[in-house]
Amino acid sequence: MPALNSIYGLFLDPDAAERGMNALRAAGVAPENILVMSAQPFDDYSFTHAGRKTVMPWLATLGGLVGGTCGFLLARYTQVAYPSITGGMPLVSPWPTAIVTYELTMFGAVMTTVITLLITARLGRRRPAPYDPEISNGKILIGALDPSDAERADLERRLLSAGAERVKST
């Protein structure tokens, strides 16, 4: 499993993690090969700023539109499918149709958000990925994926000098 080849440092302090990140970039590690993991979001530090662009709100809107359309069609169809005698009132009653449309709009939006989260955040996948249980003790993992043997020593030195508590190689 080549994907599990990695070298990483565990940092206690986010400022040190920031320095470790810079060190990896300075060493010329490609951005897609840089590993970052933490037990908190650390939104205020730039080492967490990779992959921030997301279309999730738009997908949620789209999901809502699809849900709403389904809701409208369902409400309409079920009223037409069993035409009741309405005494001159519209067969497709506007208020209930609007209510069902609204509820299914929200249903669609919520559903899409959850599915988008699961897919884009790669949740629920069984493929092994680099990880260290130390992260949940508050350590911040900064490392490089798939380094060549020549790079390893250099990266280890750079991570340690940035303030890594430990450097692990897998």
User: By C-alpha distance, which of 148, 147, 150 is closest to 8?
Assistant: 147
Q: Of the two residues 33 and 46, which places its CB atom closer to another protein in the complex?
A: 46
133 contacts another protein (rule: CB under 8 A) = yes
1 contacts another protein (rule: CB under 8 A) = no
DSSP type of residue 101: H
Q: Map the footprint of another protein across residues 4-63, applying CB under 8 A.
A: 14-15, 18, 21-23, 25-26, 35-52, 54, 56-57, 60
Q: How many residues bind another protein (CB under 8 A)?
A: 74
116 contacts another protein (rule: CB under 8 A) = yes
Q: Of the two residues 3 and 50, which places its CB atom closer to another protein in the complex?
A: 50
User: By C-alpha distance, which of 123, 129, 127 is closest to 4?
Assistant: 129
Q: How far apart are CA 96 and CA 46, in angstroms?
A: 49
CB 103 to another protein: min, Å: 4
SS3 (DSSP) at 10: strand
Task: Check if the beta carbon of residue 147 is closer than 8 Å to that of residue 97.
Answer: no
